[in-house]
Amino acid sequence: MSSDSYDLIVIGAGPGGYVCAIRAAQLGMKVACVEKRDSLGGTCLNVGCIPSKALLSTSEKFESAKHDYEGMGIKTGGVELDLPGMMTFKDSVVEANTKGIEFLFKKNKIDWLKGAGKIKGAGTVEVDGKDYAAKNIVIATGSDVASLPGIEIDEKRVVSSTGALVLDKVPETMIVIGGGVIGLEMGSVWARLGAKVTVVEFLDQILPGMDGEVRKEANKIFAKQGIEFKLSTKVTSVTPDKDGVDLTLEPAAGGDVEKMQAEIVLVAVGRRPYTDSLGLEEAGVEMDERGRVKTDHGFKTNVDGIYAIGDVIAGPMLAHKAEEEGVVLAEMLAGQSGHIDYNLIPGVVYTHPEVANIGQTEEQLKEAGVEYKAGKFPFMANGRARAMNCTDGFVKILADAKTDRVLGCHIIGPEAGTLIAEIAAFMEFGGTAEDIARTCHPHPTLEEVLKESALAVHGRQIHM
């Protein structure tokens, strides 16, 4: 094989692409990964999961030190924000992670082809004017920020999540368009640092797609934290001027127009699959009506030897979903078999408290006519949550009424994102509520709330 010829070329080094490249290399393939950014790791490591979690973590510590410590007998003597220092910390976390992927590429002998990749047809990828040959090509080009018609994101006053990660001062006021995951995570960061945050959501409740009770509870808790919500409302215009940004809002169902002003507007209305300048049309690769690359269950496009994974195909736009797809595809290309149960991909919102879910919601089960039992238990009745001074929220487990098999779990509460992993493992093995209830959980832990809610499915909870 010549130096410009590979078993596999992956385009895009996000969690889908870099994981696929590493697994393929582990399985003995000669692999290259094309990435046009100056650093590896994609949206997730550079402008997504990792920097947002660094700011969520530091802003939560700041907020706690300001408001919670005194009630727990800790005198801080005045807490001040050093925003440049916080941003430097966040940047250092990003750099450590992206450099880590460079190290992994070297360790696995994966060539990083620096530049924008273009598919010239099955078997050939062009990078910066040079052609590379590959037996197989994987499109892992991810997603980009979506906006609304007539709203221009300048990343200064009207920002996307990317701009919201690098603001150089805390705005007095911030209007967030969209009460989804990014709106709540980035809205929480800036609210904790001192901005007056208003979230405008088109639907009648925040966090679409999540369990109804969790959505209501989340709204209540975040409102208590000082975030204002305007539900069933759409933003019809956004006009930056020298003093800030003027907005017009309208009830979703139509009605009187309201005018608002904010120093910063964050547009968080979703992301779009990214296939710009990739040459898909010329290569004859089919897309769906939403601009996503069309694939079959084996991630194959309609063109032999071209595959796609991650945010650029259908399914939830989540890093761990992209990673699972990367691993399974690499194994399939090596002649192994693989399968992903898309019902078992957990979702987590890293607010305080966190929100996490897996499987079906009550609304989905009702709509499908499935008979189920629900067991719910509040963190308020858990000793560890009290000791941590984090008692907001609950766990809800949904189990099949006849078989007791767990069909879904919905959590709002401390460390929900960590707790959901236990339920994911039970569900992966077809576990029942009784299985969770009979498993000895250490005391005192937040995990006991999982056990109690499993017991509650059968009306046997002990501590309430």
Binding footprint of ligand FAD on the chain (CB under 6 A): 11-17, 34-37, 42-44, 48-49, 52, 116-117, 140-143, 161, 182, 274, 278, 310-311, 317-320, 322, 350
Q: Which residue's CB is nearer to ligand FAD, number 17 or number 393?
A: 17
Question: 183 touches which of ligand NAD, ligand FAD, none (CB within 5 to 8 A by kind)?
Answer: ligand NAD
Concatenate the DSSP letters of all residues of 369-394 into one string.
Answer: T--EEEEEEEGGG-HHHHHTT----E
Q: How far apart are CA 464 and CA 452, in angstroms?
A: 9
Judged by DSSP in three states, 43 sits in helix
Q: Which residue's CB is nearer to ligand NAD, number 243 or number 276?
A: 276
Phi, psi (degrees; rounded to nearest 5) at 10: -105, 130
Question: 17 touches which of ligand NAD, ligand FAD, none (CB within 5 to 8 A by kind)?
Answer: ligand FAD
Q: Shortest distance, CB of residue 420 to ligand FAD, whole angstroms?
A: 12
Residue 380: exposure state from Cβ atoms within 10 A (0-12, 13-18, ≥19): middle
Closest by Cα among 52, 74, 56, 55 to 65:
74
Question: 215 touches which of ligand FAD, ligand NAD, none (CB within 5 to 8 A by kind)?
Answer: none
Q: Shortest distance, CB of residue 415 to ligand FAD, whole angstroms?
A: 14
Q: Which residue's CB is nearer to ligand FAD, number 80 or number 168?
A: 168
Q: Shortest distance, CB of residue 186 to ligand NAD, whole angstroms?
A: 8
Neighbouring C-beta atoms of residue 360, cutoff 10 Å: 21
Q: Shortest distance, CB of residue 384 to ligand NAD, whole angstroms?
A: 24
Q: Shortest distance, CB of residue 131 to ligand NAD, whole angstroms?
A: 34
Exposure string for 40-76, b = 16+ CB within 10 A, e = fewer: bbbbbbbbbbbbbebbbbbbbebbbebeeeeeeeeee
Q: Output the residue with the shortest Cβ distance to ligand NAD.
A: 180
Q: Shortest distance, CB of residue 17 to ligand NAD, whole angstroms?
A: 17
Q: To the nearest 10°, the Cα dihedral for 152, 154, 156, 161?
A: 80
Neighbouring C-beta atoms of residue 169, cutoff 10 Å: 11
Question: 180 touches which of ligand NAD, ligand FAD, none (CB within 5 to 8 A by kind)?
Answer: ligand NAD
Q: Which residue's CB is nearer to ligand NAD, number 230 or number 384?
A: 230
Q: Shortest distance, CB of residue 368 to ligand FAD, whole angstroms?
A: 26
Whether 463 is a known active-site residue: answer no
- Across 283-350, the runs of DSSP E, i.e. the strands, are 306-308, 347-349
Cβ neighbours of residue 362 closer than 8 Å, sequence gap 6 or more: 211, 212, 213, 372, 374, 396, 398, 408
Q: Which residue's CB is nearer to ligand FAD, number 56 or number 454?
A: 56
Residues in the site for ligand NAD, rule: CB under 6 A?
Answer: 148, 177-183, 185, 200-203, 208, 234-235, 268-271, 316-318, 348-350
Q: Which residue's CB is nearer to ligand FAD, number 49 or number 455?
A: 49
Q: Which two tokens stand for residue 88?
A: 């430097």
Q: Which residue's CB is nearer to ligand FAD, number 139 or number 446?
A: 139
Q: Shortest distance, CB of residue 249 to ligand NAD, whole angstroms?
A: 9
Q: Which residue's CB is nearer to ligand FAD, number 171 or number 375?
A: 171
Question: Which one of 67, 320, 352, 443 is the catalytic residue?
Answer: 443
Judged by DSSP in three states, 254 sits in coil
- Across 140-202, the runs of DSSP E, i.e. the strands, are 143-145, 158-159, 173-177, 196-200
- Across 192-305, the runs of DSSP E, i.e. the strands, are 196-200, 228-230, 233-241, 244-251, 258-262, 264-267, 271-273
Question: 301 touches which of ligand FAD, ligand NAD, none (CB within 5 to 8 A by kind)?
Answer: none
Closest by Cα among 444, 462, 463, 452 to 388:
444
CA angle 103, 350, 362 (to 5 degrees): 125
Question: 142 touches which of ligand FAD, ligand NAD, none (CB within 5 to 8 A by kind)?
Answer: ligand FAD
Please give the single-letter amino acid code of residue 139: I
Question: 13 touches which of ligand FAD, ligand NAD, none (CB within 5 to 8 A by kind)?
Answer: ligand FAD
Phi-psi region of 298 (alpha: psi -120 to 50; beta: other; left: phi over 0): alpha
Q: Are 311 and 295 contacting, i.e. CB atoms less than 8 angstroms apart?
A: no
Would you please indicate which residues are annotated as catalytic (active-site) residues?
A: 443
